[in-house]
Amino acid sequence: MSQSSYERIQRIHFDAGEGYDIDTLSIRAGQSRTAEGEHSDAIFATSSFVFSSAREAAARFGGEEVGNIYSRFTNPTVQAFEERIAAMEGGERAIATSSGMAAILNLGLALLQHGDHVVCSRSVFGSTVSLFTKYLIRAGITTTFVDPTDIGAWEAAVTPQTRLFFMETPSNPLAELSDIEAVAGIAHRHDALLVVDNCFLTPVLQRPLALGADIVMHSATKYLDGQGRCIGGVLVGRDKEMEAVFGLIRTGGACLSPFNAWVFLKGLETLPLRMRAHSESALAVATWLQQQPGIRRVYYSGLPEHPQHELACKQQSAFGGVLAFEVEGEREEAWRFIDATRMVSITGNLGDVKSTITHPATTTHGRMSVEEREAAGIREGLIRFSVGLESLDDIKADLQRGLDALHG
């Protein structure tokens, strides 16, 4: 008599509570092994699961017996990824989603209802703004956008209907910081939840839950993968809220594919090493760029000149791999700089082992009106640079080509 697929898996649990370091959790948490004894996690590329009897099927569907039924509900590879990232963020439970945006949409729809109000940083990912202003509003959920650096603004935006606060820190591309602990305090005084998009730093460099946030959200597409292969997302938080989101995901179907989950599992194994290396190179690039003629300003929370450097040192253990800088000039000069580089990739993506360069005003922030961009500080001369893991000398040499083109 064959065992069911679930029973054949031996789950090896590593809880953050057991005192393991994040370097260990990133490799071991959620690890599973079938009776074959494979060392690397298996990919459960299956849409459904087989039962040993009609009785077992009935027990699974009825919830009397725990186990897999259908991969829109649960899948062992997806669960392994969820357990690992939950342990790394120090949360009770994680729910993986088909993309970062699906994580935010399902979070909003699962936890909010008609009439509820959201306070959101105005410096968040472009699609996040659209999600609140164009789509969640159709469900009767309204949003007020605030200056993320201004604690008073977060407090002033609260209404009796406020249920959720949303922030991304540091922000993209200008590296504006929100004080997680302080905003969590405001949110909790008003019985609201604080959600932090932790995409740019990952749990290796910033752990929002430990600072008082209720839910952490990721676009796994960025650093968690780290090699630009897959789209995916994840939410981490308490059982209560995650169970509500899980209900919507398993019904609405914004689930993560097992293959993508496996890629993210592999990505997490090197995340601590990569994030430290990205941070080290980015600080070196930011410091160097700042001294170059033709560069008006560098935006990076690791620079002592950054207006919130002190807060960065308090809530982050390093400063991440993404920076932005303004060239002296307008669009023409910024484009000339970008086009003169040879090695770095001109792409909208970031958080990759490959360095990437972007002109926000005409790409990622291109849908904003000129006035909106101006208000958000996204000028025509601004360039975003995601520092990869190529040799620092080669990265600088490539940026030097851009600098030379500015003067040429």
Ligand X SMILES: *Cc1c(COP(=O)(O)O)cnc(C)c1O
Residues that bind ligand X (CB under 6 A): 99-101, 125, 127-128, 168, 172, 197, 199, 219, 221-222, 231, 233
Of 193 and 195, nearer to ligand X (C-beta) is 195
CA 260, 262, 266, 272: dihedral to nearest 10 degrees?
70
DSSP letter (8 states) at residue 381:
T
Q: How near is the Cβ of 99 to ligand X at its closest, in Å?
A: 3
Q: How near is the Cβ of 364 to ligand X at its closest, in Å?
A: 9
Of 199 and 265, nearer to ligand X (C-beta) is 199
Q: How near is the Cβ of 369 to ligand X at its closest, in Å?
A: 21
2: left (phi over 0), alpha (psi -120 to 50) or beta: beta
Given a contact cutoff of 8 angstroms between Cβ atoms, the answer to whether 200 and 170 are in contact is yes
Of 79 and 219, nearer to ligand X (C-beta) is 219
Of 31 and 221, nearer to ligand X (C-beta) is 221
Q: In terms of Cα–Cα distance, which of 103, 70, 72, 73 is closest to 85?
A: 103
Q: How near is the Cβ of 140 to ligand X at its closest, in Å?
A: 23
Q: How near is the Cβ of 51 to ligand X at its closest, in Å?
A: 34
Q: Among the residues of 322-388, which ranges form H helices?
A: 331-340, 370-376
Given a contact cutoff of 8 angstroms between Cβ atoms, the answer to whether 205 and 274 are in contact is no
How far the first Cα of the chain sits from its last, in Å, is 76
Of 96 and 406, nearer to ligand X (C-beta) is 96
DSSP letter (8 states) at residue 364:
T
The strand pairing partners of 382, in sequence order, are 326
Cα 178 to Cα 192, 266, 283, 367: the distances in Å are 17, 30, 20, 24
Given a contact cutoff of 8 angstroms between Cβ atoms, the answer to whether 171 and 179 are in contact is no
Of 31 and 386, nearer to ligand X (C-beta) is 386
Tokens for 327, please give them.
Answer: 């060239």
Of 100 and 226, nearer to ligand X (C-beta) is 100
Neighbour tally for 61: CB within 10 Å: 12
Of 32 and 143, nearer to ligand X (C-beta) is 143
Q: How near is the Cβ of 221 to ligand X at its closest, in Å?
A: 4
Q: How near is the Cβ of 199 to ligand X at its closest, in Å?
A: 4
What stretch of H or E contains 189? helix 180-189
Q: How near is the Cβ of 132 to ligand X at its closest, in Å?
A: 13
Count of residues in the chain: 408
Q: Which residue is nearest to ligand X (CB)?
A: 100
